[in-house]
Structure 1
Amino acid sequence: MPKSKSDLIRALSRSYPNIYKKDLEKFLDIFLNEIKTALKNDERVELRGWGIFSSKKQKSRKSRNPRTGEEIITMEKKSIHFKMSKELFNKLNEK
C-alpha cells in the first residue's frame, strides 16, 4: 500500500502527539523542499541509515515513437538515482 504525504503526517502525529499537525506538515514540506533544491543544484543528499539521493543527467538521444515509427530527438534531462544503505537493505531482507 503506497504512503501519501497525508498518511505520513498522520503517522507522525500519532508518534508525536504533543506536536501540532500543521507544524508536522510544515516540517515535512521544508524537509522535502530541501531535498528537491539540493537535487536540482546537482548536490548529493545522504540520509544515514536510509540511503543516498543523487541526480544524474541523461544525454539527449534519438528515439522512435513506437506508434508511428517516427524518429524524434529526446532532450537532455535529469533523473533521480537512489542507493539504499546497507542498514536499510538488511532490514528489508531480514528472514
Structure 2
Amino acid sequence: MAIVKSKLLNQLKKSYPNFLKKDLDQVVSIVLNEIKQALKRGDRVELRGFGMFSTNIQKARISRNPKTGEKVNTPEKKTIHFKMAKEMFNKLNND
C-alpha cells in the first residue's frame, strides 16, 4: 500500500487536531519541496531514524526496445537511492 499526500495529511490532522489542515498541508509541501531541491542539487538528504536519500548517476548506454529489437540510445540520467536507517529496519523487523 502506498501512502499519498492526502492520506498523510489526514493522519497528521488526526494526530494534531489543534493545527489547521491548510497549515499542515503547507508544512508537508515545504518539507517535500526542500527534499526535491536538495536532490536536484546533488546533495544527500538524511532523516534521522527514517533513512537517507541520495542521487546516483546512471551512465548513458545503448539499450534495446524489447518489442522491436531496435537499438536505442539512452542518455545519462539521475536516479534516487534510498537507504533505510537502522532504527527503521529494527522497527520493521522486530514488531
TM interval, shorter chain, is: over 0.9
> 1:1-95, aligned counterparts within 5 Å?
1-94=1-94
Is the partner of 1:91 in helix, strand or coil?
Answer: helix
Is the partner of 1:49 in helix, strand or coil?
Answer: coil
The answer for unaligned runs of 5 or more in structure 2 is: none
Runs of 4+ deviating beyond 2 Å: none
Is the partner of 2:72 in helix, strand or coil?
Answer: strand
CA distance in 2, matches of 1:40, 1:21: 28
* Identity rate, percent: 60
Return the TM-score normalized by structure 1.
0.97
The AA in structure 2 aligned to 1:28 is V
CA distance in 1, matches of 2:30, 2:36: 10
CA distance in 2, matches of 1:37, 1:50: 19
Q: How many residues get paired? A: 95
Taking only aligned residues, the RMSD between alpha carbons, in angstroms, comes to 0.8
